[in-house]
Amino acid sequence: MNDGYESFESDFNIFSNKISFLMESRNKEEIIKIVKEKHKSEIRDDVDKEHKKDDLIIWNAIYSREIIRSGISKKYLHTIYNKFYRKIKETNNISNLQTIEMEMINEYMDLLINDIEITDSFTANKLLQAVHLNIENHTSLEMICNNLNISVGYASTCFKRYKGISIMKYLREIKIERAKTLLLSSEKSILEISILLGFHDQSHFTNTFKKVVGISPSEFRNKNYSI
């Protein structure tokens, strides 16, 4: 397979329309598959870490541009963009840079897939953006509401009115979606994923995952994961 490094000193996928099409079609799984194959080539070819860092800075801009094109406010995007920009600049190990790339795919594509803009409800829109931005940092609903200067009761009522689902159920569903991505795109253990996403313990995570997906996290990974 031609991995592109013979033609380009940087990631040849940057010059391909395929990734752009997959972003537009919200096909995160296929993007992950392509990037995992690329990572194998990078290790095999001992790709220069400075080239990799430059590539990721470009990808950070590409993903951001797609988010903006889809109508998500720049006000909330800059937090994510700046976070990844700093992480890329501070990292000097190929393996860690590859991990950052997977994190970028997860976070940016989840924003696109979950369509977090609600134009006719300022409060619901703020809540959606906040829960997505804080999915992996254990910020409670109470803290989110305090930051938005609204009560939990008002937030819950407003969210249910505009989304047709309780905010807690929605949060559980997006956590499970993130868990599915982490199971397929990382080597994190099930315990690590449960802690990262703020579940009480591994058993709570496993039971919740099985209730939503129909199979356990380990069964899901074994069925779908290929290195």
* pLDDT tens digits, 31-41: 888 899 899 99
Contact 63, 20 (CB under 8 A): no
Kindly write down the DSSP assignment for every residue of 157-174, as one continuous string: HHHHHHHSS-HHHHHHHH
Q: How confident is the model at residue 119 (pLDDT cuts 50, 70, 90)?
A: very low
Least confident residue range of 96-100, 102-106, 183-187: 183-187
Sign of CA dihedral 82, 152, 110, 164: negative
**Which has more confidence, 10 or 212?**
212
Residue 21 has pLDDT above 60, yes or no: yes
Q: Per-domain residue ranges for the chain?
A: 13-115
Exposure letters 67-89 (e unless 16+ CB within 10 A, then b): beeeebeeebbeebbebbbebbe
Q: 10 pLDDT band (50/70/90 cuts)?
A: low
User: Which range, of 63-67, 149-153, 217-221, averages the lowest pLDDT?
Assistant: 63-67
Q: Which pLDDT score, from 0 to 100, does residue 115 have?
A: 57
Cα Rg of the chain, angstroms: 18
Rounded CA separation 82/11 (Å): 21
pLDDT of residue 178: 83
Question: Angle CA(143)–CA(64)–CA(173) in degrees, nearest 5?
Answer: 45
- What does the DSSP 8-state code read for residue 183? H
Question: Does residue 149 carry a pLDDT above 50?
Answer: yes
Does residue 197 carry a pLDDT above 80? yes
For 163-185, the pLDDT digits (tens) are 888 988 988 888 898 888 788 77
Cα separation, 216 vs 179, in Å, equals 11
Compute how many other C-beta atoms are within 10 angstroms of the C-beta atom of residue 15: 11
Mean confidence (pLDDT) of the chain:
82
